[in-house]
Structure 1
Amino acid sequence: MTRDVLRMLAEARPQELDPEAPVDEGTRRAELTRAMTAPPRSTRVEAVAPARRRVRPMWGLGLVGAAAAAALVVATTATGPGDPGTVAGPKTGGTPKGEARTPVTMNAQTVLLSAAAGADKEALTTGAYWHVLRTNRAHHQVGKGENRYMIVTTDTDEGWTPNKPGGKAWGRQQYLGAKPLTAKDVAAWQRAGSPSSFKIDFSTRGGTVKPANYEVAPGKARTSSSKLVNDDKVFWLGRNVTMKDLRDLPADPKRLKASLLRWYGGHSTETTSEPMKADDWLWAVTKGLITDMPVTPQVRAGAFRMLAQLKSIKAVGPVQDGAGRTGTALVLLERTKNYGTLEHRLIIDEARGRALGYDIVSLKPSGADAMPAGSLLSSSTIDEAGWTNVAPTKADAAGG
C-alpha cells in the first residue's frame, strides 16, 4: 500500500532490462497509467512486465491497490476490440447499457449464491492460451485553484498466458490518449490554451515522483513476450502457481478456503510489515481468481460460495461498470492511514457468475491530493476473458 510509483515501475520492467536504463516516454506513460489505475492484486502475467520470482502483473498492488499510490487517480473504462481467435470463455457482457437506476443495498449472501449458480451453468472449455483484455481510464487533476480541471487518460492492455509449461506469455498495451473530462473541464482547458499534453505529478508518502507526460494524441500499440518463471509459473494465488495448480483447486467452498489460507501469513499481499485480517486477505486473493484466472466454472462457483460466508462483504446494485454494463457490486471497506476510508467494489454479472470490473471509491478521503468523498479512485473493466488458440507472433512484436 505504501510503495511509491517508482518502485511499481521498477518491478514492472522486464528482468532482462537494466533498471537504470532510460525508458521512453510512451512506455513510461503507459506503465504509470496502468499502475495507477490498477485494482488490487490481479493474477495475470503481462508480457510487457515479464514474470519475476513472485509472479505479479502490472496492476497487482495489494488490497488498496493503486489508490494508495496517489489519490489523484480516478478511473473508468470502455470496451476494447474483440479477439477473433477466442474459442472458449464468453465475453464478459453483463446487461447492456440502459437507463441508470438508483443502487440499493442487497443481501450479499443471496447475490453470491446466485452468482455461483450462474457460474455452475457455464460449460468447461480450454485452449492454447488464456486471454484477458482490459480497458482502463484514469482521471487526473491538472492545474491549481480556480484553474484546476480534470482530464481522462485511456489505455488498453491484454495478455495471453500459455496453457502448457515452457510457453511464452504475450502482452499488448496501447495508450489511447487524454482529453478533458466534462464540458466544464473543456472550457478550463481552452482557457489554459488547449495544451496538447499534460504533465502530472504523482504524489507519494515520500514526496513527488518525476512527473509523467500525458499527450492528447494516442500512442502506438506495443506487443512483447516473456518466458514464464521456472517455465510454468503463471499466476499468483497467495503464492506462485501453475496451470496444473489451478486445475487441481477444489470446487467445494470449505476445501477451497482451506487450500488458499495455507498461504496466509497474517500480513497483506504486498508486504510482511503490514498486518491484514484473514477475511481481507482472502478477498484480495479470491478477487483475482474470480476476475481473470483460468479456473473451471465450478471452482469459480465455489469461490463465490466461499465469499458468501464472509460477513465483511456487502452488496449494492444495480451499478454500472466503466463500459456502461449493469451488474451488482460486492463491497468491502478498507481504512487506510494515509488515504482515508476506501470502498472496494467487485462488479459482477450475477446471472452468469462472471466479473465485469473492479472499482475503488473514496468514502472518507484524506491527504493533500484527495478527491472529494464519493469519487471513483480507480476502475478496470474486463472486456474479454477466455481461452483462445491464437496469440501474437514475433512479427507482431517487431511491428510494435
Structure 2
Amino acid sequence: MDDELRMVRSLLDKPAPEPAVVAMGRDRLRTAARARGRTRPARRTMWMTGGLGLTAAAAAAAVAISATGAAGDRPGGTRPRTGGPTVTLSARSILLAAATEADGQTDKVGRYWHTTTVNGNAYRVTGGYTVIDRSQQEQWTPSLPQQEQWGSDQRLGARPDGPADTAAWKRAGSPTTFTAPAPKGPGKGKLEPMPLSTQPGRPNVNRSPLVDGDKVFWLGRNVSMKDLRALPADPQRLKASLKRWYAGHGTESSSDPMSSDLWLYTVAKGLITDMPVTPKVRGAAFRMLADLKTVTAIGSVKDAQGRPGTAIAITEHTKFGGVQQHRLILDTATGRALGEEIVVVQPSGTTAGLAPGSVWISSMVVAQGWTDSAPGSTSGAQRGH
C-alpha cells in the first residue's frame, strides 16, 4: 500500500519534465481525486443549499483527460511516466492518496468555521447560446452552541460560457440581460422564465440563531458541532454511522429514490467539502468513497476557477434532468477539495439544450478554515438582521 501511494503522489504531484508534455499539460499537476444535492446546513436555518442543491443535480460526461491533453473514455485518470508508458490511476488510488494527506492536516478549532464558495449555473438563454450565472456565498458557523450563524450571498452576474457562446452573444448585440428557463422549485420538472443579468447584485447578509440552539449542518439529519467532531475516524464505522439515516431516498426530498452508493457519496462529499470534521474523519470519508464500486476516476481536469485538480465521479439517472454525473475535484497534494461539478451526460428536462459533457452546475471552494474573526470584521458580511 505504501508503494502504491508513493506512485500516486509521484504521478499526480510532479511536473513531467518533457517540454512537449509541459507545454500541453503543466497545469494538470498536483491534482486530486471534494451538492449538494449538496449536504447542507441544518434545516430551518437561513442558509441556502447553493446552486448544486437547488436544482437537484446533474453530472459529468465520464471523460478522462490524460496529462498530455488527450481525452477519451478511460477507466481512470492517466499521466505518463517519464520515459515510460501511460499509467492508469483508479478512483481508489486517487482517494487513498487524498486520505493520506488529509490525515496529516492540522486542526485548531476557532470561533467560527468559515467558508467561501463561488457557484455557477449554466443556462441556455433566448437567442440560442449558453451563459453561466455566478454567485458567491460566505458562511460563518459558530463552534459553540447558542450562538448566531452568519451568511452572505451575492450574485456576480452572468456571462457567455465559451468562445462560441461569446460570438453568438456579440451577434445578438451583447445584451446585458437574458431570459432563461429555470425549475420552479428544487427537484421540479416544470420550468418558468427567469431573468438574468451581466451586472453583479448587492450582497445579501443575514444572521440567525442555530436550529434548536446547536444544530449546524444537515447530515441525513440535523447535527450539532459536537456530533460532527465526534464522528468515527474509521471508514467502516463512519459508513455504519451514516447509513443509519439512509431511507432509500435523496438528501433533499423523500420523493426522489436514491441508491445507497449515491446517498453515501453525497453525504461523504459534504463531509469533505463543507464541514468542520477532524482531519482523520475527512480521511475516513475519502477511504469510504474509495470502497464504493460505482465511483470512477475521471482524471486531470481544471475546475471552474481554472485550478488543476483530479476528479472522481458517480453517475445518476434523474427524474427531471436526464443522466448526470456528480464530479468531485480534489487536490491530492493537500487532501482537500477544490469543489464539485455536475456535468451533463444525456440532457433532458432541466438540462435540455446543454451539450453532453458540459458543466451544468459548479461549486468551488475558494476559502475554508477556522477563524476567530467575527463576520463584521472580515470582508463580505456586515452586521444586521
- Contact kept? 1:44, 1:159, Cα under 8 Å: no
Of 353, 367, 371, the residue aligned with 2:354 is: 371
1:296 aligns with 2:288: no
1:41 aligns with 2:38: yes
Of 124, 127, 143, the residue aligned with 1:163 is: 143
- Which residue of the partner structure matches residue 191 of structure 2? 208
Root-mean-square deviation (CA, aligned residues, Å) is 2.8
- Contact kept? 1:149, 1:188, Cα under 8 Å: yes
- Contact kept? 2:47, 2:151, Cα under 8 Å: no
1:271 aligns with 2:279: no
Pair 1:182–1:399, CA change in 2 (3 A) = farther
Q: State TM-score, norm by structure 1.
A: 0.74
Deviates more, 1:336-345 or 1:306-315: 336-345
Partners of 2:239 and 2:383 lie apart in 1 by 44
Of 113, 135, 142, the residue aligned with 2:96 is: 113
- Which residue of the partner structure matches residue 123 of structure 2? 140
- Contact kept? 1:39, 1:360, Cα under 8 Å: no
Letter in 2 for 1:162: P
Partners of 1:60 and 1:139 lie apart in 2 by 10
- What does 1:348-387 align with in structure 2 at a 5 Å threshold? 348-367=330-349, 369-387=352-370
Q: Note the alpha carbon deviations across 1:147-191, whole angstroms, 9 max, x for none.
A: 422223221111000000011111111112223334443443344
1:52 aligns with 2:49: no
- Which residue of the partner structure matches residue 69 of structure 2? 101
- Contact kept? 1:140, 1:150, Cα under 8 Å: yes
Q: Secondary structure at the match of 1:393?
A: helix
Tell me the CA shift for residue 197 of structure 1: 1.6
Tell me the CA shift for residue 254 of structure 1: 1.1
Tell me the CA shift for residue 308 of structure 1: 1.4
Tell me the CA shift for residue 203 of structure 1: 4.5
Q: Note the alpha carbon deviations across 1:105-137, whole angstroms, 9 max, x for none.
A: 131111111111010111121100000100122
Tell me the CA shift for residue 278 of structure 1: 1.6
Tell me the CA shift for residue 276 of structure 1: 2.1
- Which residue of the partner structure matches residue 193 of structure 1? 173
The count of aligned residue pairs is 324
- What does 1:1-400 align with in structure 2 at a 5 Å threshold? 39-44=36-41, 51-52=43-44, 57-59=48-50, 66=55, 101-102=69-70, 105=76, 106-143=89-126, 147-203=127-183, 207-209=190-192, 211-367=193-349, 369-393=352-376, 396-397=381-382
Deviates more, 1:150-159 or 1:363-372: 363-372
Q: Note the alpha carbon deviations across 1:201-259, whole angstroms, 9 max, x for none.
A: 315655333x3322222222222211110110001111100000011111011111111
Partners of 1:356 and 1:111 lie apart in 2 by 14
Pair 1:264–1:226, CA change in 2 (3 A) = same
Pair 1:275–1:67, CA change in 2 (3 A) = closer
Tell me the CA shift for residue 273 of structure 1: 3.0
- Contact kept? 2:37, 2:251, Cα under 8 Å: no
Pair 1:306–1:385, CA change in 2 (3 A) = same
Partners of 1:142 and 1:100 lie apart in 2 by 34
Tell me the CA shift for residue 396 of structure 1: 5.0
Gaps of 5+ in 1: 1-37, 46-50, 75-98
Q: Note the alpha carbon deviations across 1:25-54, whole angstroms, 9 max, x for none.
A: xxxxxxxxxxxxx64223346xxxxx507x
